[in-house]
Amino acid sequence: MRRKLVAGNWKMHGLKADLPQVAAIAEAAAAHPGVDVTLCLPFTLIEAGAGVAGAMPVGAQDLHENDRGAHTGCISGPMLVEAGASVVIVGHSERRGDQHETSHDAWAKAAAGRRNGLGVILCCGETEAERDAGRAERIVQSQIEKSLPDGASGEWLTLAYEPRWAIGTGKTPTLEDIAAIHAIARAKLRQMVGDAADGIRILYGGSVTGANAAAILGTENVDGALVGGASLTAEKFVPIIAAAARAG
Ligand code: PEP
Protein backbone atom coordinates (compact mmCIF):
# COMPACT_ATOMS: atom_id res chain seq x y z
CA MET A 1 0.00 0.00 0.00
CA ARG A 2 1.53 3.29 -1.08
CA ARG A 3 0.97 6.28 1.21
CA LYS A 4 -0.31 9.36 -0.52
CA LEU A 5 2.20 12.16 -1.06
CA VAL A 6 1.20 15.77 -1.58
CA ALA A 7 4.13 17.87 -2.77
CA GLY A 8 4.01 21.62 -3.26
CA ASN A 9 6.14 23.37 -5.86
CA TRP A 10 6.52 27.05 -5.05
CA LYS A 11 8.42 27.73 -8.29
CA MET A 12 9.83 31.30 -8.31
CA HIS A 13 7.52 32.44 -5.52
CA GLY A 14 8.20 33.04 -1.86
CA LEU A 15 10.10 35.48 0.31
CA LYS A 16 10.79 35.33 4.02
CA ALA A 17 7.47 37.10 4.55
CA ASP A 18 5.85 33.89 3.32
CA LEU A 19 7.41 31.65 5.98
CA PRO A 20 4.21 31.72 8.08
CA GLN A 21 2.56 29.86 5.17
CA VAL A 22 5.24 27.16 5.37
CA ALA A 23 4.64 26.89 9.12
CA ALA A 24 0.86 26.70 8.68
CA ILE A 25 1.18 24.02 6.00
CA ALA A 26 3.56 22.06 8.24
CA GLU A 27 1.00 22.28 11.05
CA ALA A 28 -1.67 20.85 8.74
CA ALA A 29 0.72 18.12 7.64
CA ALA A 30 1.25 17.14 11.28
CA ALA A 31 -2.51 17.00 11.73
CA HIS A 32 -2.78 14.49 8.85
CA PRO A 33 -0.19 11.86 9.78
CA GLY A 34 -1.55 9.39 7.22
CA VAL A 35 -0.31 11.57 4.34
CA ASP A 36 3.23 12.59 3.39
CA VAL A 37 3.55 16.29 2.66
CA THR A 38 6.52 18.23 1.35
CA LEU A 39 7.14 21.71 -0.01
CA CYS A 40 9.73 22.36 -2.73
CA LEU A 41 10.81 25.92 -2.10
CA PRO A 42 13.01 28.41 -3.95
CA PHE A 43 16.68 27.85 -3.03
CA THR A 44 16.75 31.03 -0.97
CA LEU A 45 13.97 29.83 1.33
CA ILE A 46 15.10 26.25 1.93
CA GLU A 47 17.11 26.90 5.06
CA ALA A 48 14.60 29.23 6.66
CA GLY A 49 11.73 27.03 5.47
CA ALA A 50 13.27 23.95 7.04
CA GLY A 51 13.59 25.98 10.22
CA VAL A 52 9.84 26.48 10.52
CA ALA A 53 8.63 23.23 8.91
CA GLY A 54 9.06 20.97 11.93
CA ALA A 55 8.84 17.33 10.80
CA MET A 56 7.64 18.22 7.29
CA PRO A 57 10.46 17.74 4.77
CA VAL A 58 11.25 20.65 2.49
CA GLY A 59 12.95 20.41 -0.85
CA ALA A 60 14.25 22.14 -3.95
CA GLN A 61 13.06 22.37 -7.54
CA ASP A 62 16.29 21.58 -9.39
CA LEU A 63 19.95 20.72 -8.89
CA HIS A 64 23.07 20.35 -11.03
CA GLU A 65 24.12 16.87 -12.12
CA ASN A 66 27.61 17.46 -10.66
CA ASP A 67 28.36 17.92 -6.99
CA ARG A 68 30.79 20.83 -7.54
CA GLY A 69 32.59 22.70 -10.28
CA ALA A 70 32.65 25.73 -12.54
CA HIS A 71 28.92 26.05 -13.17
CA THR A 72 27.97 29.67 -12.62
CA GLY A 73 24.53 30.15 -11.15
CA CYS A 74 23.89 26.46 -10.51
CA ILE A 75 23.29 24.61 -7.25
CA SER A 76 24.52 21.18 -6.24
CA GLY A 77 23.14 18.29 -4.22
CA PRO A 78 25.53 18.84 -1.30
CA MET A 79 24.50 22.52 -1.16
CA LEU A 80 20.84 21.56 -1.00
CA VAL A 81 21.49 19.02 1.72
CA GLU A 82 23.46 21.56 3.73
CA ALA A 83 20.59 24.03 3.38
CA GLY A 84 18.19 21.46 4.82
CA ALA A 85 16.52 19.99 1.73
CA SER A 86 15.50 16.36 1.74
CA VAL A 87 13.75 16.24 -1.62
CA VAL A 88 14.35 17.62 -5.10
CA ILE A 89 12.20 17.90 -8.22
CA VAL A 90 13.90 17.04 -11.52
CA GLY A 91 12.69 17.21 -15.11
CA HIS A 92 9.87 19.67 -14.41
CA SER A 93 8.26 20.78 -17.65
CA GLU A 94 9.13 24.41 -16.96
CA ARG A 95 12.80 23.40 -16.88
CA ARG A 96 12.34 21.28 -20.00
CA GLY A 97 10.68 24.27 -21.67
CA ASP A 98 12.50 27.33 -20.32
CA GLN A 99 15.95 25.76 -19.86
CA HIS A 100 15.70 23.21 -22.70
CA GLU A 101 16.44 20.32 -20.35
CA THR A 102 16.12 16.84 -21.81
CA SER A 103 15.15 13.50 -20.32
CA HIS A 104 18.86 12.69 -20.24
CA ASP A 105 19.43 15.80 -18.07
CA ALA A 106 16.61 14.65 -15.79
CA TRP A 107 18.27 11.22 -15.56
CA ALA A 108 21.62 12.73 -14.56
CA LYS A 109 20.00 15.09 -12.07
CA ALA A 110 17.95 12.27 -10.54
CA ALA A 111 21.18 10.31 -10.08
CA ALA A 112 22.77 13.36 -8.41
CA GLY A 113 19.83 13.64 -6.06
CA ARG A 114 20.09 9.97 -5.16
CA ARG A 115 23.87 10.18 -4.71
CA ASN A 116 23.34 12.94 -2.18
CA GLY A 117 20.62 11.15 -0.25
CA LEU A 118 17.77 13.30 -1.52
CA GLY A 119 14.32 12.01 -2.35
CA VAL A 120 13.72 12.63 -6.05
CA ILE A 121 10.47 13.65 -7.74
CA LEU A 122 10.96 12.93 -11.44
CA CYS A 123 8.49 14.67 -13.75
CA CYS A 124 7.19 13.61 -17.12
CA GLY A 125 4.31 14.70 -19.32
CA GLU A 126 3.26 15.52 -22.82
CA THR A 127 2.58 18.88 -24.50
CA GLU A 128 -0.85 19.78 -25.82
CA ALA A 129 0.28 19.23 -29.40
CA GLU A 130 1.56 15.77 -28.50
CA ARG A 131 -1.74 14.90 -26.83
CA ASP A 132 -3.73 16.22 -29.78
CA ALA A 133 -1.59 14.07 -32.06
CA GLY A 134 -2.46 10.99 -29.98
CA ARG A 135 1.13 10.64 -28.76
CA ALA A 136 0.69 11.28 -25.02
CA GLU A 137 1.18 7.67 -23.96
CA ARG A 138 4.24 7.14 -26.13
CA ILE A 139 5.83 10.40 -24.96
CA VAL A 140 5.40 9.51 -21.29
CA GLN A 141 6.79 6.01 -21.86
CA SER A 142 9.77 7.43 -23.69
CA GLN A 143 10.46 10.07 -21.01
CA ILE A 144 10.38 7.41 -18.30
CA GLU A 145 12.62 5.14 -20.38
CA LYS A 146 15.21 7.90 -20.83
CA SER A 147 15.10 9.52 -17.40
CA LEU A 148 14.51 6.76 -14.86
CA PRO A 149 17.70 6.56 -12.79
CA ASP A 150 19.48 3.29 -12.09
CA GLY A 151 18.29 1.43 -9.02
CA ALA A 152 14.99 3.28 -8.93
CA SER A 153 12.94 2.37 -5.90
CA GLY A 154 10.07 3.87 -3.98
CA GLU A 155 12.34 4.49 -1.03
CA TRP A 156 13.75 7.53 -2.76
CA LEU A 157 12.04 7.97 -6.12
CA THR A 158 8.61 9.36 -6.96
CA LEU A 159 7.32 9.82 -10.48
CA ALA A 160 5.05 12.77 -11.29
CA TYR A 161 2.85 12.75 -14.38
CA GLU A 162 2.30 16.38 -15.30
CA PRO A 163 0.76 17.07 -18.69
CA ARG A 164 2.43 20.34 -19.67
CA TRP A 165 -0.79 21.83 -20.96
CA ALA A 166 -2.44 21.36 -17.57
CA ILE A 167 0.22 23.21 -15.58
CA GLY A 168 -1.00 26.56 -14.34
CA THR A 169 -3.82 26.66 -16.89
CA GLY A 170 -6.82 25.51 -14.89
CA LYS A 171 -7.25 22.69 -17.41
CA THR A 172 -7.00 19.04 -16.33
CA PRO A 173 -7.29 15.77 -18.24
CA THR A 174 -10.38 13.66 -17.65
CA LEU A 175 -10.10 11.17 -14.81
CA GLU A 176 -10.10 8.42 -17.44
CA ASP A 177 -7.14 10.01 -19.21
CA ILE A 178 -5.26 10.39 -15.91
CA ALA A 179 -5.96 6.74 -15.05
CA ALA A 180 -4.83 5.63 -18.51
CA ILE A 181 -1.48 7.43 -18.34
CA HIS A 182 -0.83 6.35 -14.76
CA ALA A 183 -1.50 2.73 -15.74
CA ILE A 184 0.92 3.06 -18.63
CA ALA A 185 3.52 4.68 -16.40
CA ARG A 186 3.12 1.91 -13.84
CA ALA A 187 3.53 -0.73 -16.56
CA LYS A 188 6.65 0.99 -17.88
CA LEU A 189 8.14 1.11 -14.38
CA ARG A 190 7.36 -2.56 -13.93
CA GLN A 191 9.04 -3.37 -17.22
CA MET A 192 12.14 -1.44 -16.13
CA VAL A 193 12.50 -2.30 -12.43
CA GLY A 194 10.23 -5.30 -11.90
CA ASP A 195 8.48 -5.62 -8.55
CA ALA A 196 10.17 -2.46 -7.25
CA ALA A 197 7.66 -0.60 -9.44
CA ASP A 198 4.94 -1.39 -6.91
CA GLY A 199 6.65 0.81 -4.32
CA ILE A 200 7.15 3.84 -6.58
CA ARG A 201 4.52 6.51 -6.12
CA ILE A 202 3.08 8.17 -9.19
CA LEU A 203 1.74 11.66 -8.54
CA TYR A 204 -0.55 13.62 -10.79
CA GLY A 205 0.28 17.30 -11.32
CA GLY A 206 -1.42 20.07 -13.27
CA SER A 207 -4.03 22.51 -11.91
CA VAL A 208 -4.86 20.45 -8.83
CA THR A 209 -7.04 22.46 -6.43
CA GLY A 210 -9.13 21.85 -3.35
CA ALA A 211 -12.11 21.47 -5.68
CA ASN A 212 -10.77 18.66 -7.88
CA ALA A 213 -8.31 16.96 -5.51
CA ALA A 214 -10.72 14.37 -4.10
CA ALA A 215 -11.65 13.05 -7.54
CA ILE A 216 -8.09 13.03 -8.85
CA LEU A 217 -6.64 11.46 -5.70
CA GLY A 218 -9.35 8.80 -5.80
CA THR A 219 -8.28 7.71 -9.30
CA GLU A 220 -6.54 4.36 -9.68
CA ASN A 221 -2.74 4.49 -9.53
CA VAL A 222 -2.75 8.14 -8.42
CA ASP A 223 -0.58 8.13 -5.32
CA GLY A 224 -0.66 11.84 -4.63
CA ALA A 225 -0.33 15.24 -6.23
CA LEU A 226 2.35 17.69 -7.27
CA VAL A 227 0.80 21.10 -6.79
CA GLY A 228 2.03 24.48 -8.00
CA GLY A 229 -0.26 27.49 -7.62
CA ALA A 230 -2.50 25.96 -4.97
CA SER A 231 0.46 25.16 -2.72
CA LEU A 232 1.42 28.79 -2.14
CA THR A 233 -0.94 29.37 0.77
CA ALA A 234 -2.19 27.15 3.56
CA GLU A 235 -5.72 28.23 2.71
CA LYS A 236 -5.49 26.59 -0.72
CA PHE A 237 -3.09 23.74 0.06
CA VAL A 238 -4.59 22.33 3.25
CA PRO A 239 -7.84 21.20 1.55
CA ILE A 240 -5.68 19.16 -0.87
CA ILE A 241 -3.81 17.55 2.05
CA ALA A 242 -7.16 16.79 3.68
CA ALA A 243 -8.47 15.26 0.43
CA ALA A 244 -5.38 13.04 0.26
CA ALA A 245 -5.98 11.94 3.84
CA ARG A 246 -9.56 11.00 2.97
CA ALA A 247 -8.47 9.18 -0.18
CA GLY A 248 -6.11 7.21 2.06
C1 PEP B 1 3.59 22.30 -11.07
O2 PEP B 1 4.22 23.33 -11.11
O3 PEP B 1 4.19 21.24 -10.93
C4 PEP B 1 2.13 22.38 -11.18
C5 PEP B 1 1.47 21.26 -11.22
O6 PEP B 1 1.56 23.63 -11.21
P7 PEP B 1 0.02 23.97 -11.06
O8 PEP B 1 -0.53 23.17 -9.91
O9 PEP B 1 -0.02 25.44 -10.78
O10 PEP B 1 -0.65 23.61 -12.34
Atom of ligand 1 nearest to the CA of 123: 3
pLDDT score, position 248: 84
Q: Determine whether the shortest distance from the Cβ of 91 to ligand 1 is under 6 A.
A: no
Task: Name the DSSP class of 53.
Answer: -
Q: Determine whether the shortest distance from the Cβ of 229 to ligand 1 is under 6 A.
A: yes
Domain 5-247 has CATH 3.90.226.30: no
Q: Determine whether the shortest distance from the Cβ of 89 to ligand 1 is under 6 A.
A: no
Q: For strands 157-161 and 36-40, give the pairing.
A: unpaired
The C-alpha atoms of residue 236 and residue 214 are separated, in whole angstroms, by: 14
pLDDT digits (tens, 9 = 90+) for 120-163: 999 999 999 999 999 999 999 999 999 999 999 999 999 999 99
What residue owns the CA closest to ligand 1's atom 3? 228
The C-alpha atoms of residue 170 and residue 55 are separated, in whole angstroms, by: 31
Can you give the pTM of this predicted structure? 0.98
